[in-house]
Amino acid sequence: MSDLDLHPTAARCGGQATEGPVRDLLPPRETALGGSTVVRRLLPSLGRRMVGAWCFVDHYGPDDIADEPGMQVPPHPHMGLQTVSWLHQGEVLHRDSLGSLQTVRPYELGLMTSGRAISHSEESPRPHARLLHGAQLWVALPDGHRHTDPTFEHHPDLPRVTAAGLDARVILGTLDGTTSPGTAHTPIVGADLSLREGSRHQVPLDEHFEYAVLTMSGLTEIDGVRLEPGSMLYLGTGRRHLPLHAHSDASLLLLGGEPFREQLVMWWNFIGRTHDEIAQARDDWEKSSRFGEVHGYDGARLHAPELPPLPLKPRGRVR
Ligand code: MN
């Protein structure tokens, strides 16, 4: 997925790392993507840039796309991050400059590690299923791993943690001793929790991580806060358990990780450490160098927006 905002401000990863548990609702912001898809952006938000290394969270659908193109995101570049494609309904066809051609289906992990440079496109295949529902997430790469070669991984069968009324798929990192096969470069967790109506749980957490929960569907109560679909609750650090109560059949994305300490510049589809790195990446994409070529997408590649007039500055966690 791409940030298609034509006039992106210099978004900065690195929110305030709280010491201890909090319950902050993060309001979604509607943003148009390619095709007929409108997403609700939850990270970065006004008050918070990151949860662990998670620095970008879009939630979309469920949308009826039977008579629509669905998702159509033309070839665009990435640098310094991983993208996680996660679906509950429908499918997304991923193409990238490594030559990958992969349909990602519900509850399968599509994990693209950009390293220093990659480009990709994402589209609803033709024909496609009636309903499209999913999330697109980015993970910032730490300095020691951000210049690596790009890779794409597809993991159709993720490990699960189960209890009565709870079925959790571990998307990235480790939950309750169960680890995803997806390659992670920081202490992190992403998990999809399916909850049966009426069930109550105490999900084990790492007290050194910060966490947030996004409701994908259903009505839940998380540490006493009622959440509706599309709502995200930031939970802070210092928790050993997360109290969950499902008021209906529901599903949640649990995102967490060690608070990310590096200063970052996040602009358009790039994460770097300096203005010059970002400007170089933008130039390279516009000159069709470094980011490779995506073959087979029926349409033109995206152009990068203009850089803002003032230099982009690396920012820490405090706004
Ligand atoms: Mn993308």
Ligand 1 centroid to 140 CA: how many Å?
Answer: 13
Q: Residue-wise pLDDT tens for the chain (319 aa)?
A: 565 554 444 443 444 445 799 999 998 999 887 666 789 999 998 778 999 999 999 999 999 999 999 999 999 999 999 999 999 999 999 999 999 999 999 999 999 999 999 999 999 999 999 999 999 999 999 999 999 999 999 999 999 999 999 999 999 999 999 999 999 999 999 999 999 999 999 999 999 999 999 999 999 999 999 999 999 999 999 999 999 999 999 999 999 999 999 999 999 999 999 999 999 999 999 999 999 999 999 999 999 999 999 999 998 654 5
Ligand 1 centroid to 142 CA: how many Å?
Answer: 19
Ligand 1 centroid to 22 CA: how many Å?
Answer: 31
* Claim: this prediction has a pTM higher than 0.85: yes
Output the six-digit token pair for 79: 């640098």
Can you list the domains of the chain with their CATH numbers? 17-257 (2.60.120.10)
Residue 232 CA, chain-centre distance (Å), reads: 13
> Using CA atoms, how far apart are residues 37 and 23, in angstroms rounded to an integer?
30
- Residues surrounding ion ligand 1 at CB below 5 Å: 1-2
Ligand 1 centroid to 308 CA: how many Å?
Answer: 21
- Residue whose C-alpha is closest to residue 185's, from 134, 138, 232: 138
Ligand 1 centroid to 78 CA: how many Å?
Answer: 7
Question: Which helix (H) or strand (E) element contains residue 72?
Answer: strand 72-78
Ligand 1 centroid to 61 CA: how many Å?
Answer: 18
* Local structure of 89: helix, strand or coil: strand
Q: How large is the C-alpha radius of gyration of the chain?
A: 18
Ligand 1 centroid to 1 CA: how many Å?
Answer: 3
Ligand 1 centroid to 153 CA: how many Å?
Answer: 15
